[in-house]
């Protein structure tokens, strides 16, 4: 049962990041091949970096269904484009859910490898963020994680709470996962809505 649930989380996370990458590429008016490349990099970038760090083959190399799914969802996003006008909101929603889902996937991979909890949180953050980092670099944008918006912090907070609940409470497996995923999504959405920022340590230009 747990393996099936983890598969569903990974499946939904990949769909979210494929849609996120597709809409980001279409914002820049790339051709269909460019949209597919950006969607692919966004969907597998974080997981690939994670797997290389823990010295296992990248997850998508051993199963072609990942590639078929990326292709299918990318095509669907191009069709959806004809009825969707606000790319910015759609991109934000899918990116937020992808962040939450993939963070938990990365932490779970670390736990399965019996790594230290801090390393597991790091792997979760890498899994959640690096696809978006690569997407933004390819689209010639400053990655969200390097801007003032709370992005990676949501992964770290959510991942820490996930491990605490898993280790020190008796809550069931599935509710812990679902709660943490929605917590990360909520932190991300509230951070943008209320303009939460990490404190700056740069002086304003007029005070230098």
Tell me: the pLDDT tens digits for 73-111?
999 999 887 776 667 888 899 999 999 999 999 999 999
Residue 205 — very low, low, confident or very high, per pLDDT cuts 50/70/90?
A: low
Contacts of 88 (CB under 8 A, 6+ apart): 27
Tell me: the pLDDT tens digits for 53-69?
999 999 999 889 999 99
Q: Considering only CA atoms, which of 49, 170, 173 is closest in space to residue 108?
A: 173
Report how far residue 11's alpha carbon sits from residue 14's, in angstroms, rounded to the nearest whole number: 5
Q: Average pLDDT of 29-55?
A: 96
Annotated domain spans of the chain: 2-207
Average model confidence (pLDDT) across the chain: 91
* Bridge partners for 149 per DSSP: 197
pLDDT at 88: 80
- Torsion angle, CA of 4/21/40/25, rounded to 10 degrees? 160
Report how far residue 115's alpha carbon sits from residue 121's, in angstroms, rounded to the nearest whole number: 10
């Amino acid at each position: 049962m747990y393996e099936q649930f983890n598969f569903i989380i990974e499946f939904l996370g990949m769909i979210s990041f494929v849609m996120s990458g597709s809409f980001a590429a279409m914002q820049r008016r790339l051709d269909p091949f460019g949209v597919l490349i950006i969607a692919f990099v966004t969907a597998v970038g974080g997981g690939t970096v994670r797997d290389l760090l823990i010295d296992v083959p990248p997850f998508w190399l051993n199963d072609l269904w990942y590639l078929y799914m990326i292709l299918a969802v990318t095509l669907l996003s191009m069709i959806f484009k004809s009825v969707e006008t606000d790319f910015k909101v759609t991109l934000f929603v899918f990116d937020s859910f992808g962040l939450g889902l993939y963070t938990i996937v990365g932490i779970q991979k670390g736990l399965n490898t019996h790594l230290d909890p801090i390393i597991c949180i790091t792997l979760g953050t890498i899994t959640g963020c690096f696809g978006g980092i690569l997407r933004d670099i390819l689209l010639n944008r400053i990655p969200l994680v390097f801007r003032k918006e709370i992005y990676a912090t949501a992964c770290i907070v959510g991942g820490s709470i996930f491990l605490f609940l898993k280790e020190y409470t008796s809550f069931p497996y599935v509710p812990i996962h679902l709660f943490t995923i929605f917590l990360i999504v909520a932190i991300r959405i509230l951070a943008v809505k209320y303009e939460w920022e990490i404190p700056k340590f740069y002086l304003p230009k007029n005070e230098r």
